[in-house]
Every structure is written in structure tokens, then in C-alpha cells.
Amino acid sequence: MKLSRRAFLKGSAAVGLAALGVKGRRPVLQAFAETKSEGKAMQGSTRWVSTTCQGCTTWCAVQVQVVNGRAVKVRGNPNSKASNGKVCPRAHLSLQQVYDPDRIKVPMKRTNPRKGKDEDPQFVPITWDEALDEIASKMMELRRNNETHKFVLFRGRYTYMRDVIYDKFTKIFGSPNGISHSAICAEAEKFGSYFTEGLWDYRDYDLLNTRYLLLWGADPVASNRQVPHSIKVWGEVMDRAKVAVIDPRLSATASKADEWLPVIPGEDGALALAMAHVILVEGKWSREFVGDFKDGVNRFRAGEVVAEEDFEEKYTHGLVNWWNLELRNRTPGWAEKVTGIPAQQIIKVANEFADAAPHVISWLSPGASMQVRGAYSAMAAHALNGLVGSVDNKGGTLRASKVPARSQLPGYKDYQDEVAKAGTKYPKMDQRGYLEFPALKKGKPGGGVVTNRAADAILNDDPYEIKMAIAYWNNFVFSCGETSRWDKALSKLPFFVHVTTHPAEMTNYADIVLPAADHMYEKWGWLKSKANRYAYCTMNQRVIDPIWDVRIDETEIPWLIAEKLAEKGFDNMLRYFKEQVRDPETGKAPTNSMEFTMYAVKYLTQPLWDPAIEVKGDQLSGWKDFQEKGVWNSVPYPYRKKWGNFETATGKFEFYSETLKKSLKKHAEKHNTTIDGVLRSCKLQATGELAFIPHYEEPYRVGDPEAYPLIFVDYKSRLNREGRSANCLWYQEMKDVDPGDERWDDVAKLNPQDGRRLGIRTGDTIKLVSPVGALVCTAKLWEGVRPGTVIKCYGQGHWAYGRIAARDFQKRLPRGGNNNDILPAEYERLSGSTARHGGVVRVRVEKI
């Protein structure tokens, strides 16, 4: 905090100061301003303001109660048809985040030039002007040297205002490198629905009409996804439907389920295939969706080949192929051996699921897909929805109605000069599209991001050297597997700017730190999401006046940098912002960062609030109305809309994925190899036509079973605000709301059988050692763990996130350990996704 009025300091300080106390003069104020209302206490003003919680990817419309300018309470936005006024515990934790004294308060500059985990950056406060000037100078240097492609914008969590900083800012400057975090989030899950039904997205789930829920590692009352809606209706769901949870740990949802199937990590695919086998052998597939044998006689018998021409498919493609190539041998007896789940339970669950169909859900989550060979597990689990006709159906898995907001600001190409045009022609820096990283987002080779590979790209100058990065709302050195690579990469990066609300591990490597506005309380933005059959748009609003000197990451900061670039002779970006982003109501051009922010939010959301534009959903009367309600709801999603016109190569739901065949072929051709060659490079076992169908792959694990006898399982907390809440007291005080966890601690859970065998007791301090790293935490013996596994929640282990998050901040001792220190940098390469699940790593437990 700098003195804002320094005039009195001029000349002799002592004299100046001595004069201040003299009676008869007015006091000279610094922190205060005088008002005319002396003697009046503040008026008790209370209001509820709509905004958005981004504590997880549900993106709930919420409201905050503000009393005398202070946020005191959070509730679900009652105007939302997706969550109907409900929130989960994460939203409440946000109050402790926004008022965390450990937040970044002013721009800071590193004074220790050495970088590394153990280097103290020796930050000092600087002004916004100084910070922006330094950033713009570095950017101009890149421009002068025709090196704009050596600039990276690392995006973490975002609102849909990302278009400004991630896309337009980066491209007009001249870099192809908008690099998002998506691949550490859940891309492998989207692979499952894309290569069966052509949907690269999360699904919605018709919980209120479902009769059976088959949850593949999903834990909807705690995390991923639509948590408030799930919590709200769970009682009703349990009244009407059976719930089976496939998860090596007893999750919150599993603890309330009818069936718990503690599968051996990584064997989810085998289980799904065996269930498909049972459904076909028992003749319980959907005649309406899938079709039938021409003569109505079921020929699916274990081990036996079926003639393709005997079966007539309706809305699906390749069932018989799938059966002949794979399913016929995937018997429950076989599956029992590989999955550790009794054949009887597999048969029971498959039958009950099929009997309740089509009002059933096979719910895929990162747990069952973000595995090295998880792409095919994801396809298998989602294919069950196709098999019983629950896809796009009542009580089943759904898509979303359209949210007709604008996704992009107007065209920018005219504002790219020659330098920018040349710079953006370079390939992106994260190695997407390399032979071993097909990253087939929406079927396009190299279409998706390979976030965690960016560290290797920086370290090896491959594809080229990186000289500067701006990162916002992320913490890759903590949140990406095998963190030690990020430590080296960020230490190597010559100039790094971290834009963040809280100091994080990544901040430790920054040259400049910029304080960001909190997304829920201090920012302007908008998001779209879905639940309960409604798609919706929800607004991020400035609910309270920020206490500290923060700026909005996605809009204000690009504007402020653009101003500085203009001062230094490159005004294209500022001109673009001024000329192309106008207030839709008045037509005015922005003159400062906040006006720019507001006009951009209004422009992108205009179709939703402008009464002159007709849309399917809520009709709002104007911007003010939208601001007040905070949410726009679509019409409910109609059932069976996609039957017959799925966005696949055949237009059908593909059990034999022609869509995947095309994509893999394209990728193979690009690298002059075969599809088998591509699969081999991606650490997959399949050859030939298996590549195009959901098939069995043995789990891929790092670590020799002799040296590392236990399989490690990572999961997420119901209190994790994306790994950002560990500095909140409530997080630590209530950590035991996660089944098996303890307050103020980070416990690795082992089955009591394993504990006895290894001589480990509850409360022991232990070291988990994997081939790539080690962490220290507390042991707990707990029955909710599959024997042979060690299970630990992600979220603790921060060494730079605030005094509460760390055990001893001064000594950089974390509270517990970060799972990513022992997880290897492995990938589900077909989607580009990080592979942190499915028991990707083995560990040994050492007592210390």
C-alpha cells in the first residue's frame, strides 16, 4: 500500500509533520475522507446480488447477501431452473476465499533473479503502471525480434470472457499459443461420448426421471457434476431408482448407494464390456433404439460369432461387429478375474440396469476415463447408454438446449499486422498433433490441448523456445502430474507473469504478479452450463467493492496491456478493443478498462437480454433485468432429439466408430504410419479393427509391482474449489465430510488388511513413494478402500498457498502432500488428457 498523497513529504519531513498537529488546521487524511454526515452510523442495507460460483465445473447461478457492503452469505439463485436455489458446500467456502488476508493485494515484482522451488522471490510491491510497463516492454521486444510466437498465454479456469485474453489478445499480438488447462480437467471423458454419439462435451442427466444410475467413478452428491441439483433431488432419486457405484473407494455417493463395486483401478472398461455382454446374451438391449435380429431370435451366445446380416440396426451402427470382435468373449467370469468384482454382482447390476431401461443412466466421469488406456473404457461405459436406448432419452443421458449467446467478439484479422500474421502461423507449443499425441478433440488430429506437455515443450525447446508467458487462474506446477518438470520449466522461463487472486505455487516463479479480481465477488463475466434439462447462462457480477487493488483478469488486464503497447508504438490491439467492442445499448466505444469489460460482457450476452432478439427460453426485458436475475434459462431439452441425426460419420450411435476410424486414419497419414503404429505410440495394445470399438486394454501402470506393491488412487474433495480452498479454515475444519478423511490433515487410506500386513497404523506419518516422486502424509486404515490400493484426496500439500494451507509456511512445509508430486506425467493420448486415474502409478508406503 503506497501513500497516495505525498505532497506533505516534500521539503523537510520533520517540519511538515510537526505542523500537522497544530490546532486550528484541519487534519490531513490519507486513509479516510470526511463526510458531511458526522454522527450517523451506517444504514443497515441488505441485498441479494446474483453471480456465479466456479468452485467446480458445475458453474452454479448463485446469490450473495451483502450487508453494509460486506458479503455475508451465499445461496443458490432461485431464478435458476437448473439448481432451483440450491448450492453445495463449495459456494459457502468462497466467503473465506474472498476475504483471505493472504490474497494478492497489489502488483508485485521479483527482486531475486534466481528461480526455483527453494528460491525466495523477494517480491516487492510495485504500481500497476510499473508492472504493465515492464510487461509491455517485454512484449515489444518479442515483436521487434519477430518472436511473438515465443509468447504463451496459459489459461486455467475461465469465464466466457476468455475470448478477450485467450484468443484476441494473443492473436493480435501474434502468438498461436493460447494454451488451456482443459486436458488436466476431463477431456478423456468427452472422448467416450464423441466417438459414439458425436458429442464432445459433458452430458446432462435426467435424474428426476431415471430408474437406474450406474456411476463410473462419478460422485454427484460431492463432485463432478451438477452437485447442487444432485443433492437436492437425491432423496427422490433413491426413492425411484437403484444406484450402483463403480469406484475403488467408498465415495460419498457410494456410501448411499444400493451397490458398491470396488473395481480394481483401471479395469472399468472390462466391467463395462462384461455388462454389455450380459445385456446382449440376456436379450435386454433396446429393440427400439438398437434394432433386433430379423427373426426376433437372440443369437448372442457367449463365444459365438453372429452373422452381420441377421441383425437389423435402427439408430445404431456396428453392434454385431462389436460383439464379434470383442464382446462375445467378455463374459462375467472373465471380468471377475480382471476387475475383482464377483461375476454374480456384474450379472445382477447389468440385468437390473437393462430391466429399468431406457430410463437409466450410465454416468461417465474422469475417474473411469482419465487413464492411459481410458479412451476405450470411456467409449465402453457410454456405449451402455446406446445399448439400452437411454442416450438422449427420458431418464437417461441428455445434451443441452442452446444458449444463444455470442461466443466471440467481432473479427480481429484486420488488426493483425505482418509480425502477428507470421507469429500465429507457428504450431502451438504444447506438442498437440505429434504422433504420440493425437489429441483428437472433436475428431480433429491435434485439435485438443495437451496441457501437461507444455512443461516438456519449454524444457526441451520443442517445438521451439518459449521466452515469455502470462498465466491466469491456474497453478500448473501444483495441478499437473509430475510437478518436478514444471518446477524446472518455470525456472527456465525467462519472463513469467502470474495473474491470480491468491499466491500459488506457480506464483513462486513469477517475475511479475498481478492481483486478479475474485470470480464470484469482484468480476464481470458470464458462463453457460446445464443441469436438470435446462441449459442456462449465468453472470459473474461485481457483488462487493474489492478491498484490494485488483483488476479483472480476462478483460481489464488485456486492455491495460493494450494501452501500454499503444504507448510503445503498437496500437493495433487497443484500436481493436475500441473499434470493435461497443456498448450494445448506446453504441459508445470504451474509454477505460472497466467500460471495455462491461461492453464486452453486454455484447456477448446481448441475444439473451435484448428484448428485440427472440430466443427460445426466458424472455428478459433488458440488461438491468438480466443483471438482477443473474441467470437466463433455456427451454427444457426435448427427448430423443438426436435419434437418427447424431453428429457421427454415420449419423448413428456408433458401437463400431467410423468417426474414430476417420480420425485415426487422418492422424496416421499425417505421420506416414499405420493406425496400429499410432496406437502403439499412444501406449495402447489393440491392433486392427479393435481400434474402432470399445475394447479391453490392460491398465497401464508406472512402477514395478515388486518395488511398488500398492496401486495409488486419487480423488477429489467435496470441498475442493478446484484445489483452491485449502487456505480456508472451513476446508480444514470440516475436511472429514469427505468419507474417510480427517480434519486438519491429509490422510492416505489403506485397507486394514494391508495395514496389518505392512505394519502401518492409523495416525502413522508415512511417505508414499512412486517412481517419480514422494510425499509425506498421515496413514489411516479404513474399510472403504479396496485392498491393494492407497487412496488419497487431492487438494492438500500446498507449500505456497497461505498460512492455513501449509503446515509451516516459513519452512515451506506443506500440510500433507500433493498427489501430483507422485503421479507421473502420463496421458490418455488419443484425447490429450492427463491420465491421473485408473491406478496409473504404483507406490510403496514407508513409515517415518
According to CB under 8 A, which one of 76, 266, 340, 503 is a site residue for other proteins?
Answer: 503
According to CB under 8 A, which one of 9, 305, 613, 813 is a site residue for other proteins?
Answer: 9
Rounded distance, CA 799 to CA 808, Å? 8
Least CB distance from residue 21 to other proteins, whole Å?
4
CA 17 → CA 4, 27, 190, distances in Å? 16, 11, 66
Interaction between residue 23 and other proteins (CB under 8 A)? yes
Rounded distance, CA 611 to CA 726, Å? 43
Rounded distance, CA 781 to CA 750, Å? 5
Based on C-alpha coordinates, what's the Rg of the chain? 28
Least CB distance from residue 572 to other proteins, whole Å?
32
Q: Which residues of 756-784 are buried (b: 16+ CB within 10 A; e: fewer)?
A: eebebeeebebbbbbebbebbbbbbbbeb
Quick one: 9 or 305, whose CB is closer to other proteins? 9
Interaction between residue 6 and other proteins (CB under 8 A)? yes
Interaction between residue 29 and other proteins (CB under 8 A)? yes
Rounded distance, CA 529 to CA 82, Å? 9
**x/- string (CB under 8 A) for other proteins, residues 408-437?**
------------------------------
Rounded distance, CA 564 to CA 147, Å? 19
Specify whether the CB–CB gap between 766 and 748 falls below 8 A. yes
Binding part of the chain for other proteins, among 413-421, 441-449, 802-810, 840-848 by CB under 8 A, reads: 802-810
Rounded distance, CA 416 to CA 423, Å? 10
Specify whether the CB–CB gap between 523 and 99 falls below 8 A. no
The count of chain residues that interact with other proteins, using the rule CB under 8 A, is 68
Binding part of the chain for other proteins, among 193-201, 330-338, 500-508, 819-827 by CB under 8 A, reads: 500-508
Least CB distance from residue 157 to other proteins, whole Å?
19
Binding part of the chain for other proteins, among 28-36, 369-377, 430-438, 774-782 by CB under 8 A, reads: 28-36
Binding part of the chain for other proteins, among 2-10, 76-84, 340-348, 455-463 by CB under 8 A, reads: 2-10
Least CB distance from residue 97 to other proteins, whole Å?
10
Using CB atoms within 10 Å of the CB of residue 288, give its burial: 0 to 12 exposed, 13 to 18 middle, 19+ buried. Answer: middle
Quick one: 104 or 250, whose CB is closer to other proteins? 104
Q: Which residue has the cell 463395462?
A: 272
The DSSP code sequence of 496-524 is EEEEESS--GGGGG-SEEEEBPPTTTEEE
Quick one: 99 or 639, whose CB is closer to other proteins? 99
Rounded distance, CA 529 to CA 452, Å? 26
CA 29 → CA 6, 36, 655, distances in Å? 11, 15, 73
**x/- string (CB under 8 A) for other proteins, residues 523-552?**
-----------------------xxxx---
Least CB distance from residue 803 to other proteins, whole Å?
6
Least CB distance from residue 38 to other proteins, whole Å?
3
CA 108 → CA 126, 588, 671, 818, distances in Å? 5, 34, 46, 26
Can you say whether the dihedral through the CA atoms of 696, 244, 263, 336 is positive or negative? negative
Binding part of the chain for other proteins, among 68-76, 138-146, 444-452, 710-718 by CB under 8 A, reads: 68-76
Using CB atoms within 10 Å of the CB of residue 65, give its burial: 0 to 12 exposed, 13 to 18 middle, 19+ buried. Answer: middle
Residue ranges in 681-710 that form contacts with other proteins under rule CB under 8 A: none
Least CB distance from residue 523 to other proteins, whole Å?
17
Least CB distance from residue 10 to other proteins, whole Å?
8
- HEC string of 444-473 equals CCCCCCCCCHHHHHHHHCCCCCCCEEEEEC
β-strand 512-515 against 495-500: which pairing, if any?
A: parallel
Least CB distance from residue 512 to other proteins, whole Å?
12
Residue from 555, 495, 424, 567 nearest 110 by CA: 495
Residue ranges in 93-152 that form contacts with other proteins under rule CB under 8 A: 96, 99-106, 108, 111, 122-125
Least CB distance from residue 17 to other proteins, whole Å?
6
Q: Which residues of 13-49 are buried (b: 16+ CB within 10 A; e: fewer)?
A: eeeeeeeeeeeeeeeeeeeeeeeeeeeeeeeeeeebb
Give the CA dihedral 244, 248, 253, 254, nearest 10 degrees.
60
Residue ranges in 38-57 that form contacts with other proteins under rule CB under 8 A: 38-42
Quick one: 13 or 613, whose CB is closer to other proteins? 13
How many Cα neighbours within 13 Å face the side chain of 710?
30
**β strands within 248-359, DSSP E:** 259-261, 291-293, 311-313, 316-317
Rounded distance, CA 332 to CA 339, Å? 10
Least CB distance from residue 35 to other proteins, whole Å?
5
- In three-state secondary structure terms, 115 is coil
Interaction between residue 803 and other proteins (CB under 8 A)? yes
**Which backbone phi and psi does 799 adopt, to 5 degrees?**
-110, 0
Least CB distance from residue 808 to other proteins, whole Å?
9
Least CB distance from residue 806 to other proteins, whole Å?
8
Rounded distance, CA 48 to CA 838, Å? 43
- In three-state secondary structure terms, 72 is strand
Quick one: 68 or 619, whose CB is closer to other proteins? 68
Interaction between residue 477 and other proteins (CB under 8 A)? no
Interaction between residue 12 and other proteins (CB under 8 A)? yes
**x/- string (CB under 8 A) for other proteins, residues 563-602?**
----------------------------------------
Q: Which residue has the cell 499503444?
A: 566
Least CB distance from residue 505 to other proteins, whole Å?
10
Quick one: 95 or 480, whose CB is closer to other proteins? 95
Interaction between residue 239 and other proteins (CB under 8 A)? no
According to CB under 8 A, which one of 305, 307, 707, 729 is a site residue for other proteins?
Answer: 729
According to CB under 8 A, which one of 20, 305, 707, 813 is a site residue for other proteins?
Answer: 20
Rounded distance, CA 369 to CA 216, Å? 9
**x/- string (CB under 8 A) for other proteins, residues 506-525?**
-xx----x------------
Least CB distance from residue 328 to other proteins, whole Å?
59
Binding part of the chain for other proteins, among 52-60, 244-252, 452-460, 805-813 by CB under 8 A, reads: 805-813
Least CB distance from residue 733 to other proteins, whole Å?
10
Least CB distance from residue 674 to other proteins, whole Å?
51
Rounded distance, CA 808 to CA 815, Å? 8
Q: Which residue has the cell 500439500?
A: 797
Least CB distance from residue 126 to other proteins, whole Å?
9
Binding part of the chain for other proteins, among 63-71, 76-84, 240-248, 591-599 by CB under 8 A, reads: 63-71
Interaction between residue 18 and other proteins (CB under 8 A)? yes
CA 658 → CA 137, 651, 829, distances in Å? 50, 10, 19
Q: Which residues of 336-349 are buried (b: 16+ CB within 10 A; e: fewer)?
A: bebbbbebebbbeb
Quick one: 54 or 507, whose CB is closer to other proteins? 507
According to CB under 8 A, which one of 7, 21, 45, 418 is a site residue for other proteins?
Answer: 21
Binding part of the chain for other proteins, among 26-34, 145-153, 322-330, 417-425 by CB under 8 A, reads: 26-34
In the complex, which residues of this chain contact other proteins (CB under 8 A)? 1-4, 6, 9-10, 12-14, 17-18, 20-23, 26-42, 68, 70-71, 96, 99-106, 108, 111, 122-125, 502-503, 507-508, 513, 546-549, 729, 800, 802-804, 806, 809-810
